[in-house]
Structure 1
Amino acid sequence: MRFAVLCDDPTARPLVEALDSRIDGHQLRYVVQLGPKTSQPHQGLKSATIVSRWEDLLAANDVDVVLAGGNTEQMFEGVKQLATAGIPILFVPHASQGSTFIYELSLIRDDNHVALIPFLWHRFDAAAQHLKQLLRDGALGTIQFLQLERSVSQSPSSSPIAQAAVDLELLPDADLLRWLVGDYNQITALRTAATDQGVMMARVVLSGRSLPEANWVIAPAVRPAEWKLTVHGERGTALLSRADGATSFVCDFDGQHVEGHSHTTASGLLTAMESLIQRRDPSTTAAADDPWGDLVQCFETVDATHRSVRRKRTIELHFEPMSERAIFKTQMTAIGCGLLVATFLLTLCYLGIASVVPLPRGILIALRALVFAPLVIFLAAQILLPLTRPSSNDHPTPQPKV
């Protein structure tokens, strides 16, 4: 397949290098220059033609797939237009892109039946796949819990981690845990020593029905950043780790030592991508085999951690009760509609009775009061609405404009 690159995310560098070497017969044809060459994942490539605008990809007739990623306005607009034109997108997710942009791409996928393939590199790593097979075969017995610990190099180590960096690291790790274990839908987040500058430690607990609990922890460190996932089972403990700056994992269990390799990982990712593109309608993929749907849920998981911290409780995805303000407004709307209908019907009854039966003036006044008093009381109760205004801390985290 022939590729174009609309990406400045360094995490895509291993795949770009593999494409440049024509892995499995794939070709890298075009690269869109999004910024300084030194910051691009395509620095030093030999086989690609550099273009300055994403519009050039629409005019090209030799592009089968676009590798897209980053957080620039040019990338946002380019991806939406290229996907609308029916060009498959291999998408590199980044937490700063925001769930709003991901939802927009999902709508484009549903409308145009275009293939959107998330760049979930870890899913095709040999060591990660080995761990998944161990869990599937029950080699560890009943899983008790999972502990994923990672550190971020900070100098000094007492300096906090920016919240944006926490979200950046959580996004792929959340997908890895969901891919290994199952559909986590309950999120509890805690932040230690949180300030405007960041946090000294962040912890996220993922849980779900009949699933072992997964604990995700991030903290600053002076030493090289570490990443390790420990799976505790009744029959033993498996460790999946990754060295600082490495793109591949190492899995250790019961004397077995399995290492991943970026070349085989890239080959597996491209094979899975080809399979998805060849489907007649990629948007109707079964829920059990829908990597794009999994990516959407990972963005929702990151959003849920912010709500969990703000509300100081566990958040359940897709089943979040309405706020007190929303409940009040819903109830008042229903009551108001009922009173308007009731007042109209009672007015008709009053006019009918008053025109047929001669009644004393006092009784007529009493009937009028009974008809209109409930509506007047309801309208007066609307002054209570300002009392339900949410506090400033209840406003959702703003998403980047695209």
Structure 2
Amino acid sequence: MSERGERPRCAWLGDARGALPVARALVEANLGELVVAAECGDLAGDLLALVPGLRLERDWESLLTRADLSVVVIASDADGVLEGARQLARSGARLLVWVGGSATRLFSELTLLDAESPGRLYPLLPQRHLPAVSQLADDLARQKLGGLLSVQFARTQPGIALDAATLDRDFLHDVDVLRSVLGHFEQLTAFRHADATGRILQATTTLGGPQLPPIVWQANPGGAGVWTLTLVGNLGRVEVAANDRELTLQRDGAAVQRWPWHDAVHGAARQTIEDALTGPLGADQPAGQRTTWDDLLRGVELLAATQESLRRRRTIDVLFEAPSERNLFKSHMTAAGCGLLLLTPVLVVLYLLVAAAFPLPEWLKIGLVILVFAPFGLFLLLQALVWITRPSAAEIVVQDGTPESPRAESPQT
């Protein structure tokens, strides 16, 4: 909401059907005024049913000409939508980004914008706001389960085999739920079992974190898509289960709590939109429930670690560093340095071959030597900028706001 209590005027960009509950929550809860949609494809009919007077545009460029838009929901990771998201973010609009299955490229492209202007981007991760998940987070915060002994997240997908893109999407949302209730993870081991034709029959990922037991995420093919999160502690057991009909929460010695699935999803989407439009809620909200762009980046890092673990067949240490302009500058300089280290010897060899094959005047030899080594010399001079942009000790803080002493930084390769 705006400071004057007015509903923000919103645009919709993309055709992801999974983001439709967000549109319903936005309109039905009167949280924003959806006035225009672009590149929505087959979703146009559903959006028009929600907002009969909705204006439909063919491409995102038309959204840039509207000065009345303050919020844009990004519901796709197509190339056109990616470029549109970048341009709209630079124009000052706040972006609510739906997390799909293969949108990691979109997230990395937008990360620099978030580093430049924190708070402009907000990931839509409604599953952490489901009522059963929120109650589970509260139980863990109050130590009602005591020390955790085991954690398992089991999910089924319809069909006789698992789809890789759907696996990535499900893992990204499920690991966000696990992070919201358990905290950060530092290690990951992934395994996938396939048949002779390459079809994936089972996917298992084991996560590890400080003072946590091994956390097992597992997906199997089966009937209708359902998921179950089970936590066992030395003081009790809690199980959260979901299917297309209902969401349940079962505690030891207590009656099963039930929510109709449609109502639970709608409430979670509404909570997500409220957080996105008004910022973090008050002090009564658990810290793990406040969503930031870093939450999405941590999920993407875990997804990338899964792929790395599958490729290398071993446990991967997950090291997350919050993005900043300085870190991005260091990454770019490292990439440039590696390229110059490869290019300079090649140019030296070419120069020697040319000088041996043709008689060159002295001034031309000097000029060629300067051209060969000038890029690398300029790069070495630019390394001084790393120290010029080095933050002071007072500026180096950890995420909980406590000061952290500067650490020696290892070179990136």
TM-score, with normalisation over the residues of structure 2? Answer: 0.68
1:246-268 CA distances to partner (integer Å, 9 max, x unpaired)? 6x732221314153623432332
Output the CA distance in 2 between the equivalents of 1:319 and 1:90.
Answer: 23
Alignment of 1:45-84 (within 5 A): 45-47=50-52, 48-84=54-90
- Residue equivalent to 1:227: 227
- Residue equivalent to 1:204: 205
Matched, 1:103 2:108: yes
1:145-164 CA distances to partner (integer Å, 9 max, x unpaired)? 2111111110xx3xx32322
- Residue equivalent to 1:281: none
* Runs of 4+ displaced beyond 6 Å: none
- Residue equivalent to 1:28: 34
Matched, 1:313 2:314: yes
- Residue equivalent to 2:134: 129
Q: Is the Cα contact below 8 Å between 2:237 and 2:251 reproduced in 1?
A: yes
Alignment of 1:127-206 (within 5 A): 127-154=132-159, 157=160, 160-193=161-194, 197-206=198-207
Q: Which amino acid aligns with 2:307?
A: H
Compared CA separation, residues 18 and 143, structure 1 to 2 (3 A)? same
1:178-233 CA distances to partner (integer Å, 9 max, x unpaired)? 11101012110011126674311010001012123210001111x22221111111
Q: Is the Cα contact below 8 Å between 1:240 and 1:252 reproduced in 2?
A: yes
1:114-154 CA distances to partner (integer Å, 9 max, x unpaired)? 51110010122212101111111111121112111111110
1:60-95 CA distances to partner (integer Å, 9 max, x unpaired)? 122121111223222111111111112100100123
The offset of 1:295, in angstroms, is: 0.6
Q: Which amino acid aligns with 2:89?
A: A
The offset of 1:37, in angstroms, is: 4.3
Output the CA distance in 2 between the equivalents of 1:307 and 1:263.
Answer: 35
Output the CA distance in 2 between the equivalents of 1:2 and 1:179.
Answer: 30
Partner SS state of residue 49, structure 2: coil
Compared CA separation, residues 268 and 105, structure 1 to 2 (3 A)? same
Alignment of 1:2-401 (within 5 A): 2-21=9-28, 23-37=29-43, 42=47, 44-47=49-52, 48-98=54-104, 100-113=105-118, 115-154=120-159, 157=160, 160-193=161-194, 197-221=198-222, 223-244=223-244, 249-254=247-252, 255-256=254-255, 257-259=257-259, 261-276=264-279, 291-318=292-319
Compared CA separation, residues 19 and 319, structure 1 to 2 (3 A)? closer
The offset of 1:276, in angstroms, is: 2.7
Q: Is the Cα contact below 8 Å between 1:95 and 1:299 reproduced in 2?
A: no
Output the CA distance in 2 between the equivalents of 1:133 and 1:240.
Answer: 13
Q: Which amino acid aligns with 2:204?
A: R
Aligned alpha-carbon RMSD (Å): 3.0
Q: Is the Cα contact below 8 Å between 1:162 and 1:199 reproduced in 2?
A: yes
1:33-74 CA distances to partner (integer Å, 9 max, x unpaired)? 332347x76262234221222122221122121111223222
Q: Which amino acid aligns with 2:11?
A: A
Aligned residues: 309
Q: Which amino acid aligns with 1:126?
A: P
Unaligned runs of 5+ in 1: 279-285, 321-329, 338-402
Q: Which amino acid aligns with 2:184?
A: D
Q: Which amino acid aligns with 1:146?
A: V
TM-score, with normalisation over the residues of structure 1? Answer: 0.70
The offset of 1:277, in angstroms, is: 9.0
The structure having more radius of gyration, on CA atoms, is 1
1:13-46 CA distances to partner (integer Å, 9 max, x unpaired)? 112112233x1442111111332347x7626223
More off after superposition, 128-137 vs 107-116: 107-116
Partner SS state of residue 157, structure 2: strand
Q: Is the Cα contact below 8 Å between 1:162 and 1:197 reproduced in 2?
A: no
Q: Which amino acid aligns with 2:33?
A: Q
Output the CA distance in 2 between the equivalents of 1:238 and 1:288.
Answer: 19
Output the CA distance in 1 between the equivalents of 2:151 and 2:41.
Answer: 40
Compared CA separation, residues 167 and 126, structure 1 to 2 (3 A)? same
